[in-house]
């Protein structure tokens, strides 16, 4: 009996070995195939701003077009936002751009079509004519016309054009630049796209200032109104940056780190965010307009963490900013030298 078992197992072992090798080969092939998959933008998590700002009915359209043309759908949402404020203003522009994403008729129909700019609607919405002449307009909803005033057609056509630009230059900045030849436009679109995805760039597309590992916390002003140190007989533990009429404007994380505190503070700080950084540093952002970014969030330098306010012990909108080294407040000036120098205000 034992002998038979031995013979069977000896006979089987090469077979099992072969099965194992096949399984390994299949596994490796699958891994390679998966790693070569085209970029997947389906699992983008929206920032709070993105969730509040992007009308939810458009999201499936952006996603479908993004997937079809391999374009980050947040770029499509951002273009839609910048072009027509999510279709709340679809008037023809002074340059003659039309529809939900403001195409020139010639770009939609094709610049190769004779006197494209004066083509009738029946002509420029005809998918056969468009494809014959190589335009970018597409009929995405399958109603037989490629209509810049149909939201699906417009978003898909935008994706089509961006995708074409990307295939030529493979650089999203330049691809957007080719959509509308202006640097401000590129900055605004990318600003919105990043704000939608994680609040990395302030909401109105202003350029944030990042230098190496640090960002200036208050993009709209460098007006220092109070220094660290002795003040009215007490110790001022941080530096004040005034917002003037800038109530509600974004406040950014000074450095990358983790939010370890974000709530109302009864000690006079009002709504306070504390971020823990490397090297035993913490930064404090006080008097925020409302509760800041969630505790536990890992932030990048320059990420929006709250909005300028005047909550707690405060006489007007400003950011009270502290740097603590080993939990002891230190003068932030040396850390901020790149942004505001080291010379204290009088």
Contact positions toward Zn ion, by CB under 5 A? 240, 320
Q: How far is the CB of 140 from Zn ion (least distance, A)?
A: 54
Contact 54, 74 (CB under 8 A): no
Point out which residues pair with 265 in neighbouring strands.
Answer: 270
SS3 169: helix
Q: How far is the CB of 284 from Zn ion (least distance, A)?
A: 10
Cα(244)–Cα(171) distance, rounded to whole angstroms?
39
Closer Cβ to Zn ion, 196 or 321, answer by number: 321
Cα(77)–Cα(72) distance, rounded to whole angstroms?
9
Closer Cβ to Zn ion, 75 or 217, answer by number: 217
Q: How far is the CB of 287 from Zn ion (least distance, A)?
A: 8
Q: Tokens standing for 73?
A: 């759908």
Please report where in the chains the tokens 């009996």 appear, as a residue: 1
Ordered DSSP codes for 5-22:
HHHHHHHHHHHHHHHHHH
Cα(20)–Cα(164) distance, rounded to whole angstroms?
44
Contact 311, 272 (CB under 8 A): no
Q: How far is the CB of 236 from Zn ion (least distance, A)?
A: 6
Closer Cβ to Zn ion, 147 or 240, answer by number: 240
CB-nearest residue to Zn ion: 320
Closer Cβ to Zn ion, 294 or 325, answer by number: 325
Closer Cβ to Zn ion, 152 or 240, answer by number: 240
Q: How far is the CB of 332 from Zn ion (least distance, A)?
A: 11
């Amino acid at each position: 009996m034992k002998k038979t078992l031995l013979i069977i197992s000896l006979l089987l072992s090469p077979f099992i070995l072969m099965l194992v090798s096949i399984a390994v080969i299949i596994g490796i092939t699958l891994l390679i195939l998966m790693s070569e998959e085209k970029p997947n933008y389906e699992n983008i998590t929206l920032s709070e701003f993105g969730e509040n700002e992007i009308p939810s009915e458009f999201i499936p359209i952006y996603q479908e077009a993004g997937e079809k043309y391999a374009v980050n759908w947040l770029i499509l949402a951002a273009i839609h936002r910048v072009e027509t404020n999510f279709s709340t203003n679809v008037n023809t522009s002074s340059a003659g751009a039309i529809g939900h994403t403001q195409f020139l008729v010639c770009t939609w129909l094709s610049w190769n079509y004779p006197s494209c700019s004066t083509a009738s609607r029946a002509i420029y919405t005809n998918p056969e004519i468009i494809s014959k002449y190589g335009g970018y307009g597409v009929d995405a909803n399958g109603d037989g016309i490629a209509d810049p005033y149909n939201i699906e057609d417009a978003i898909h056509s935008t994706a089509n054009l961006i995708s074409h630009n990307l295939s030529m230059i493979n650089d999203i900045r330049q691809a957007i630049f080719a959509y509308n030849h202006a640097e401000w436009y590129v900055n605004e679109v990318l600003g919105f796209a990043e704000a939608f995805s994680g609040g990395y760039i302030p909401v109105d597309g202003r350029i944030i200032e990042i230098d190496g590992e640090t960002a200036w916390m208050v993009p709209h002003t460098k007006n220092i109104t109070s220094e660290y140190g002795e003040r009215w007989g007490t110790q001022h533990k941080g530096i004040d940056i005034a917002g003037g009429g800038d109530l509600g404007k974004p406040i950014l994380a000074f450095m990358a780190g983790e939010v370890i505190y974000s709530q109302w503070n009864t000690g006079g700080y009002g709504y306070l965010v504390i971020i823990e950084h490397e090297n035993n540093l913490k930064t404090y952002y006080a008097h925020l307009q409302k509760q800041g970014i969630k505790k536990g969030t890992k932030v990048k330098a320059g990420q929006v963490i709250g909005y300028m306010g005047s909550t707690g012990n405060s006489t007007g909108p400003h950011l009270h900013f502290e740097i603590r080294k080993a939990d002891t407040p230190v003068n932030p000036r040396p850390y901020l030298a790149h942004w505001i120098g080291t010379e204290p205000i009088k």
